[in-house]
Structure formats: C-alpha cells, structure tokens
Amino acid sequence: MKKYNFSAGPSILPEFTVKKTAEAILNLDGIGLSLMEISHRSKEFDAVIKQATERMKEILSVPEGYSVLFLQGGASLQFSMVPCNFLNTKAAYVDTGVWASKAIKEAKLYGEVNVIASSAGSNYDRIPTNYAIPGDADYLHITTNNTIYGTELKKDIDSPVPLIADASSDILSRPMDVSKYALIYAGAQKNIGPSGVVVVILKNSLLEKVKRPMPTMFNYKVHVENESLYNTPSCVGIYACLQTLIWLKDLGGLKAMHKLNLEKAGLLYDEIERNRYFVSSVANTDDRSIMNVTFIMKPEYKELEPKFQEFASSRGMIGLKGHRSVGGFRASIYNAMPFEGVKALVDAMKEFENQV
C-alpha cells in the first residue's frame, strides 16, 4: 500500500532528496567514502556547502548584501540568537501561535518586548490585523506560518523597522521578496531537508548593531565570516538540503511550486467545505495555510473523529492527527507532498462520508 506522510515535521522529503542522500551516505560521488565520514574541511564538502548556499540565493533571489547560513540548533535557537544580535532596547513581536510565543519568551531575556498584536484570545484561529508597528523598535518579528493552528501570512509585509521572520514551515513554498526582510530563519525539516539544520538569510549591514558580549556560537558575524563552518556543521543535512534545492529548481522554481501548492490546498479545502462531516478550524479563508490544513469534525459528529483517524490510517494516510491545542486533524502538505497524496486523502474523506 502506498503511504502518504502528512506529519508536521520532520516531514515528507522529495524522493529525489532521499535517494541522492542515501547514495551519498554509502559513497559520496564515487570517492569511496561515506558522506557521514568526510571532513567538513574537505574539498568535497566545501563544494557541497558552496553549492547549497548559491542555490538558496538563486531560488529565493537573495539580493546582494545578504548572507545565507546553514546552522544548527533549529529555529528554537534562533528565538535567542535574534534578540541577542539585534535587540538593543525594544523589539516588536506579533503573537500568532506557540512558536511565536516561545520566541517572545526568549526575547524578553534581552530587553523590552512589545507584543503589538495577538490572536491568543481566539486560540490563534486567525492572523491579527490592524496593528501599529512602533517606529522606535529595533525590529519587528513575525511567524509566517503556524503549523499547529493552520494559519499563514501569505504576503511580505512592509515594515518601517527591520523585519525578521520565522519562515520555518512555508519557506520555499512561494516567492518571497527577501529585500523586505532583515533576517529570515527556517528550520529545515519542513520544506528543505532533514532536522538538524536551520537556514538563516540575513542582511549584512545590520550585523554588530548590538554591542553586548555574546557567546561565540550566538554571534551571526562569526558564522558569516566563517561561511557556516565555524564549527562542524550537519554535513548530511546540508547535503540533503542541496538535493532539495536541485529538485525544486528542476521543478520550475518557486512560481511553479506555489502554483502546485495552491492547487493541492484548494483541492483539500474544497472537500472540507463540501463534506458533511468536516469543517475548517480557521474561519477566515484568507488566513488558511496552504502548508498545514487543520480541520475538525462538525460538533454533531465529534465522536466520529477516532473512527476517521483509523479509517484514513488504514488507507495509508500517516500523521493526520491534529495537535492537542486544536484537536481534529492536520494535513501537512509541504512542497514534497505530491498532488496524488492530497487526492488520496480527499478520496478517503469522500469514501468515509459514503460509508458511515
């Protein structure tokens, strides 16, 4: 039986990435050594990380004056690194979910944090609007996609202060105007590669704005100067990221990927709206994520949720259970999820409706 991985992360990877990485783990480019055992200072890995950096710049159209880093610690470490490097006196944050609130908690260790908007009062079922960005803030921090709640900010906003984005779960899903951002960070395990790598894209002119002493590993300038090689990086993870970037370019780049993602999400949301059992957990259609589709059983059918979970699993749908904060179901349909996978889920929903 064909299985489809709808897990929120670590999540599905392109078959191309899995195959190429598996081959390299056995024998990297025919050199007789495994990718897992080569030195990160070797010419072979130097070529890998340079290619990955250039591919990321090319696909995202990263402007001159920006650096691309492949670091460790995941997006969670960036919650601390960002304020350590950029928060002098006050920072502004938009609270749209668990990960945004965790970023806020870490930032408070470094200075004043002004939460200028939050949707916590409605269990993060929407993206806040109509908020004012303070002109004296050192930066504004946003989370572009909220995996748990199924909401997404689908456009690059204008900010009068440096804009910093956690784009972990929707990076590479659509074109982005990188020039609008001071820094973008993204854990790899959604749309780029396996867990263990975080991509950071930052504007070099903003480095060293803060003069506080900081641990060497927290200092972005150190990582820029050492081209992501200050310490031993995740060699296997970065190689896998490179393969995904090659796959993405061959597919047609971000415009083609965005078109496919809209088609996948549209198919699934249409079925949720049509099916008598289900309802989206995000009422505002403009805020519905195209990466993480969250839905629940209508109140009168709530008791059928375990039955549908079992039904879908029996038909090869893996990782559909919703986060405990929302309940119901969550279909993470990242870049690597094929249209056929979403169609298989929709077919299972229709079959369930007809049988129960």
Query: In this structure, what is the dihedral angle of CA atoms 89, 92, 93, 94, given to the nearest 10 degrees?
Result: 170
In this structure, what token pair is assigned to residue 99?
A: 């990960």
Are 213 and 125 part of one and the same domain?
yes
Known catalytic residue at 166: yes
Residue 47: HSE in the Cβ half-sphere, 13 Å Cα cutoff: 7
Residue 344 sits in a domain of what CATH number? 3.90.1150.10
pLDDT score at 208:
87
DSSP string, 313-349: HHTTEES-BPPTTT-SEEEE--TTS-HHHHHHHHHHH
Q: How many residues does the chain have?
A: 356
Taking phi over 0 as left and psi of -120 to 50 as alpha, with beta for the rest, 186 belongs to beta
pLDDT score at 1:
83
Regions of the chain where pLDDT drops below 70: none
The model carries a pTM of: 0.97
Known catalytic residue at 177: no
Pairing mode of beta strands 183-187, 198-203: antiparallel
pLDDT tens readout for residues 228-284:
999 999 999 999 999 999 999 999 999 999 999 999 999 999 999 999 999 999 989
289 and 125 in contact (C-beta within 8 Å)? no
How far does Cα 203 stand from its chain's mean position? 20
Give residues with Cβ within 8 angstroms of 212, minimum separation 6.
Answer: 84, 110
Are 162 and 29 part of one and the same domain?
yes
pLDDT score at 321:
96
pLDDT tens readout for residues 6-24:
999 999 999 999 999 999 9
Are 236 and 319 part of one and the same domain?
no
pLDDT score at 211:
87
The residue annotated as part of the active site, out of 154, 190, 203, 321, is: 190
Known catalytic residue at 247: no
Residue 30 sits in a domain of what CATH number? 3.40.640.10
Are 65 and 208 part of one and the same domain?
yes
Spatial distance between the Cα atoms of 209 and 85, rounded to a whole number of angstroms = 7
The residue annotated as part of the active site, out of 166, 264, 287, 321, is: 166
Range of the domain at 340: 252-355
